[in-house]
Structure 1
Amino acid sequence: MPDGGKPTVRSRRLGAALRRYRHAAKMDQAQAAEVIAASAAKISRMESGHVSCRVIDVRLLMAAYGETEREKVARYEELAKTSKRRGWWLEHAAHLRSDYLDHISLEDDATYIREWQPVMFPGLLQISAYAKASIEAGLGYVAPERIEKLMQVREGRQAKVSEGGATYAAIVWEPVIAHPLVDDGIHREQLAHILEVGKRKNVTIQVLPFTAGAKAAMTSAFASFSFDSEPTVEAVTLDNLRGTSVLEGADDLTAYANAFDQLRSAALAPEASARLIRAALRSSKEDTS
């Protein structure tokens, strides 16, 4: 991100963290500016993510704010180093919305990813045939060459989970299992894939049953992300008709962390979820025999 340019997800995350620490230390921007021999305006732009943070500035500010735990300081120093880093997904940037790029950047950095999906299987779990059929059935025409690019990006995203780069928990509503949105054969392949992926140590898949009632309507689909050794929610993305929104406010993060906890409590345990998926797969096969 060039100074004065559009903030990146990483620069916003770093800026938000610095602002939280400054508030906790009860320092104003002018006092923080004295620590790094800068202006209050620069502190403001650092905290909004509009200017890059030097590693030394992060180190000095964190010390001034009273953070002495080396692991936490190193984490934010790393964000300063990588705020301009070019991710693998940017080679596809011409075919992707900027908000989708933000979502991928969050996924790529995350140590914990949690997802609620009441309509379809999450993108991180979709087989290629299911993903392609979903895109083709969506609102509006998508050119074949763009579909191919979107498929490549989805495969790249899935490496984060398949290679164990993050702990991943997904909750899907039972209609996603019971009522195919795509061709029956593709749906069966997808169900079989879900059962295999659910065996990985870093993956937990749960089904929210019909009997959960109104719980399924408490919120639309969302994903939450954590970037530390602890699963504290630090960013949330919401899909909507016009794109993807990124939430980073403290109240929003708390609300969605609580929503996921409620959904997880109401969902079937992973073993019971797997049994339900296996039963749906058997039933689908019997219907075609």
Structure 2
Amino acid sequence: MAAVEPSPSLFAGPLGAVESNPTALKVILGGKLRELRAAAGLDPSAVDVRLGFSRSKTSRIELGRHGCKPADAVALLELYGVSGEESVAEFLRLVEQSRRSDWWRSFSDVLSDFFAPLVALEGAAATIRTYEPFYVPGLLQTSAYARAVIESGPARLYAHDVHRRVELRRERQRQLDQPDAPRLWAVIDESVLMRTVGGPKVMREQLEHLTAMMQEPRITLQIAPLDVTASVGVGTGVTYLRFALNDLKDAVYIEHLTDSTFSQKPQVVEQYRDMLDRLGACALTPKNSLALIEERLSRL
């Protein structure tokens, strides 16, 4: 088996802020191990047998669903012919990083399984694109508005659970304050402005918050008039994650009534990216969107 050519790094470039995201690191490391395995001409089951792994362990590691232990990483790299001391050392450093606990795991008591993939990876995205037909996007909600939205849901929640969900939303928003924060491009349905969530005071505070956030260079907000959303045919909330690193595939999160779908299948991602492109092209410009929000504010 030919050894992989030693180099200072097994990765195309610095991972940057992604290094602080254990979930994203697991996916990246798994993808790199899959690439190395394929170059070595081995299939996952053969690797399981050669290294004495349990059945499908190699596949789970490659999918980022199973954390890679340092000893397993050493064995895999050796099997795949990676001999460069610096390459191995860097890989093991990232393995250690990936074994830390994600910040969002402390909210596991209120974080639904179907929502976890979005929360886990949105901080690692270069761009977050979202469309919301009913409410202001969670990343732009005030605490009072978020509380009103959560309390209006179909499930009856204790006050503690409502508070925890609001806190989770606030922690997600703090990711936008980081130096390498994702760029947020949000489109909301015009009806969102008409829906007085939580009462006039809460809604006024929320719209004032939107006007302030629209001054941030990393944030773009557009309002989609009713006739636009009727013609484009979105019908549901969508969030699209665009990653700058080739090791992370773009993803879409599609909301349903009682659950959601998180997909990284290229055909699904492309379909929703195209939809968001058409929606953004038809929506009001940010300048005209701001004027519409200010007009709504004047009526509250």
The normalised TM-score by structure 1 is 0.76
Would you tell me which structure has more helix in proportion to its own residues?
A: 1
CA separation in 2, counterparts of 1:41 and 1:213?
44
Alignment of structure 1 residues 145-184 onto 2, 5 Å: 145-163=160-178, 165-184=181-200
Aligned pair partner of 1:100 in 115, 137, 142: 115
2:149 alignment partner in structure 1: 134
Alignment of structure 1 residues 27-46 onto 2, 5 Å: 29=43, 33=47, 41-46=56-61
SS of the residue corresponding to residue 186 of structure 2 reads strand
Q: Deviations over 1:28-77 (max 9, x none)?
A: 6269959x97889554333333433466688789999xxxxx9xxx8x98
Which has the larger displacement, 184-193 or 36-45? Answer: 36-45
**Could you say if the C-alpha distance between residues 107 and 28 of structure 1 is closer, same or farther in structure 2, counting changes exceeding 3 Å?**
same
2:127 alignment partner in structure 1: 112
Are 2:220 and 1:204 equivalent residues in the alignment?
yes
Q: Is the 8 A contact 1:22 1:28 kept in 2?
A: no
**Could you say if the C-alpha distance between residues 211 and 97 of structure 1 is closer, same or farther in structure 2, counting changes exceeding 3 Å?**
closer
Which has the larger displacement, 253-262 or 22-31? Answer: 22-31
Deviation of the 1:85 alpha carbon: 2.5
CA separation in 2, counterparts of 1:91 and 1:233?
26
2:266 alignment partner in structure 1: 250
Q: Which amino acid aligns with 1:189?
A: E
CA separation in 1, counterparts of 2:251 and 2:283?
23
Deviation of the 1:227 alpha carbon: 2.9
CA separation in 2, counterparts of 1:58 and 1:261?
41
Q: Is the 8 A contact 1:29 1:43 kept in 2?
A: no
SS of the residue corresponding to residue 108 of structure 2 reads helix
SS of the residue corresponding to residue 109 of structure 1 reads coil
Are 2:207 and 1:188 equivalent residues in the alignment?
no
Q: Which amino acid aligns with 2:225?
A: P
CA separation in 2, counterparts of 1:216 and 1:15?
38
Q: Deviations over 1:117-170 (max 9, x none)?
A: 011001100011111111111112111011111111111111112445111110
Q: Which amino acid aligns with 2:157?
A: V
**Could you say if the C-alpha distance between residues 61 and 221 of structure 1 is closer, same or farther in structure 2, counting changes exceeding 3 Å?**
farther
Q: Deviations over 1:184-223 (max 9, x none)?
A: 2211111111010010011110111123153453341011
Percent identity of equivalent pairs? 24
Q: Is the 8 A contact 2:23 2:102 kept in 1?
A: no
Structure 2 stretches lacking a partner, 5+ long: 1-21
- Size of the aligned set, in residue pairs, is 266
Are 2:28 and 1:14 equivalent residues in the alignment?
yes
CA separation in 2, counterparts of 1:30 and 1:97?
31
SS of the residue corresponding to residue 98 of structure 1 reads coil
CA separation in 2, counterparts of 1:80 and 1:268?
45
Deviation of the 1:181 alpha carbon: 3.3
Q: Is the 8 A contact 1:237 1:245 kept in 2?
A: yes
Q: Deviations over 1:241-264 (max 9, x none)?
A: 333321111111111111111111
**Could you say if the C-alpha distance between residues 264 and 143 of structure 1 is closer, same or farther in structure 2, counting changes exceeding 3 Å?**
same
CA separation in 1, counterparts of 2:296 and 2:81?
56
